[in-house]
Amino acid sequence: MREAYPVEQAVGIAHFVSDPDGVGGRLRESPEDFRVREVERFDTEPADADEGAYPYLVVRATLREWDTNDFAKRLSDALGISRERVSWAGTKDKHAVTTQLFTLRKVDQSELGDVSVYDAEIAVVGRTGRGLQFGDLAGNEFEITVRDAERPENAAEIQSALKSFGGGGKSETGGGSHSGTAGVPNFFGQQRFGSRRPVTHEVGLAVVRGEWEDAVRAYVANPYESEPEGSQEARRAVEDHFDERDWQAALDATPERLGFERAMLNALVESGGDRPEDFRTALEAVPSNLQRLFVNAAQSYAFNRILSERLERGLPFDRPVAGDVVCFAEQVDGVTVPDPDREQRVTERRVETVARHCERGRAFVTAPLVGTETELGDGEPGEIERDVLDDLGLAPDDFDLPGEFDSTGTRRSILVRTGLEIEEAEDEDSLTFEFALPKGSYATVVLREFMKTDPASG
């Protein structure tokens, strides 16, 4: 196995699973090079259905270079409604063209006629009795173009290796395109932890350990070379003031663009920042979804570490060994969606039976996103899980936390397998990848195997 880049290792991704050199190239030369469309799992009534019974208007929006949260705020402002009346099922990449559903509570479709949102197309889908929630999304379809590929001819060999890793044989190849299946470890991608400044898991680990001051310091100070020099300078100044307990000076040194950092520091100014609970209050000064993200990132980091250790020990990803916990899956519009609520422990006696389910895409081996209700595996898989948690100083009970930081945990498939088509352009060194992934899986985790470029260089 090839060793991952340092910035990947920092978030628990230790290896590539394909050995051939990558195709190289660049992502996101333009937003149109990264297209995402939701695979929807949400029933609607006709748009003229009774608004009393179905108070939510469902719209499909195609967005160009929009952060999902920013678009929701822009849309609510345009409609003259509270941001809380806009909901969606999944947050999408900003530097992309994305198509997804939104629900608008107590909005009539006639009100959309006056809405003008830059770089967004909005179409009415229907009405429904409840707002969209995380979990309503089945998956995403991707069409991604890699520009200036240095070795496009290597794509077929990489795809063959990934098909074998996912439990299949050699890929079918021919002409200027390749099609088949590909399997990769279901790592959490770089953006889960902060693409430019991967610190959210560091904050989360400190929170779970009850080290509230360290959690705040990791977020407001802690400069990274990959962020703008001005931000680095500000964080170095904050670090000095942090040691001096001069919270006003730390706040003054932090530019307006670092809004969440300023919110934390302002809370310390108001409380005095002398007690552990003052630092917890500072963390609670940021939006609730960011508070949850801190702990989720800690869980994701541990998950990535578990997968990396499984790779190093040579355990399979496409089939179970005794001691594994598997979950069963369902098909939604051609996307295989693992269901962590339907799980089964694998005993020595049932290994072969469950392996056949995995081979057919009906079940997947899992690893924990550890929380208070997590039950770890048995045998060697359970040993890996316990070793990683011990090394991180974590235990399931540690996630019994106040407010938004609390997490019961779940389990997640360790393998993502997808049908994959690769088209080679005739007149330039570019490759277009088309594939679909279940919700929560990262397109960049598939593409990193093909490109093998250093995320820090982009």
- Other CB atoms within 10 Å distance of the CB of residue 361: 15
400 given a catalytic annotation = no
Q: The tokens of 190 are what?
A: 């770089």
Which residues contact residue 234 at a Cβ distance below 8 angstroms, ignoring those fewer than 6 apart? 253, 254, 255, 258
The 10 Å Cβ neighbour count of residue 176 is 11
- CB-CB contact of 327 with 411 (8 Å): yes
For 106-128, b where at least 16 C-beta lie within 10 A, e where not — what string?
Answer: ebebeebeeeebeebebeebbbb
Residues forming a β-bridge with 423:
177, 432
Distances (CA, A) of 369 to 89, 92, 325, 345, 364: 20, 22, 13, 16, 15
Catalytic residue, chosen from 19, 70, 93, 390, is 93
Both tokens assigned to 235 = 């964080």
Place of tokens 């916990």: 325
Q: Which residues are marked as active site?
A: 93
